Amino acid sequence: MAAVSILAFRSWRVLTPILSLGPKARAVSLALGAVLLWATWPTLATWAQPAPPFLIISLGSATGFAVALARSTATGHGRAWRQTPLRTLLLVAGGLLTNNVLYLMAMPRIGPAEANVIAYLWPILLVLIASRMNGLRITRGQWLGIGAAFTGAALAIGPTFAQGFDPLGFLLAFSSGLTFAVYAAIRSKGQEQHDVIGPSMGLMAVLALGLHFAFETTPQLAWPQLLAIAAIGVAPLTLSNALWDLASRTGHMATISGLAYLTPLVGLLLLSLLGVATVSWSTAAGAVLVVAGALAASR
């Protein structure tokens, strides 16, 4: 766990040289960094259990905000932070808060691996939303890819069906993916040239803390849980979304969308290698089918 946290903090140092690359190489590098850090979500979220979702997001985003603020101050970008439009802060904080809380709620109901695969239907959903926004017609090949991806999601949760299917858990994970797809489609039109994720983490921490006090009971957290939550704040919450936000505004959305589909596979690999959760063959096969279908649909 400590290794994941240290890696997340050190990863921030590579952001400056990445931004000096050519447009396409920059987009690919940023997207790959986002994918690798997003993939830590299931493992870190499992380590943070049984802390309640709003508390995890509140403490995690507060940590991410503090680290991002320190970096922006050190690099002289503090003024740009203060000029971030309120509507952007509300969009980012609201979108990421909803997306991540829904995932955390789904995870204990259907399992971290299964919830991860279902939530990562979002690239497929993004294809549908983007096509609608741009007035494009979805081809037969894309429909086949979409069908394959949803078949993969059904295959991934097959063991859950056998143990008594939890429709609410499935709905929460799917809604998590849908929320991020809508958020990503809107943010791809953003015009800001500076980091908007860091300052949004501060607003998200306040919103999540208020919801925690309103709906959850505050437990006593052990140090391993606190370290996992801190790592969540830096890696899959703040840095990964900052990298993706920059990548999505490079004009190479088609290229980076293909890379995003690797996230559930890398996430499952981490769960298995670290012994955090048992990844069944059907879940792994379902994840591969989701990735293949998403790649076909994005063409």
The arithmetic mean of pLDDT across residues 219-226, rounded, is: 92
CB 127 within 8 A of CB 147: no
pLDDT of 58: 96
pLDDT of 3: 47
pLDDT of 157: 63
Q: pTM (2 decimals)? A: 0.81
- Alpha-carbon distance 286 to 154, whole Å? 7
- Higher confidence at residue 255 or residue 99? 99
pLDDT of 205: 96
* Residue ranges in the chain assigned as alpha helix (H): 2-11, 15-18, 23-38, 41-48, 53-74, 78-82, 86-110, 112-119, 122-133, 140-156, 158-162, 167-187, 197-215, 223-232, 240-248, 253-260, 263-273, 281-297
CB 295 within 8 A of CB 258: yes
Half-sphere CA count of 96, side-chain side, radius 13 A:
35
For residue range 173-200, list pLDDT tens digits in order. 999 999 998 998 888 777 777 788 989 9
The arithmetic mean of pLDDT across residues 224-236, rounded, is: 92
Residue 20, pLDDT above cutoff 70: no
pLDDT of 130: 74
- Alpha-carbon distance 230 to 188, whole Å? 28
pLDDT of 65: 93
- Give residue 78's identity as a one-letter amino acid code: G
- Alpha-carbon distance 213 to 215, whole Å? 6
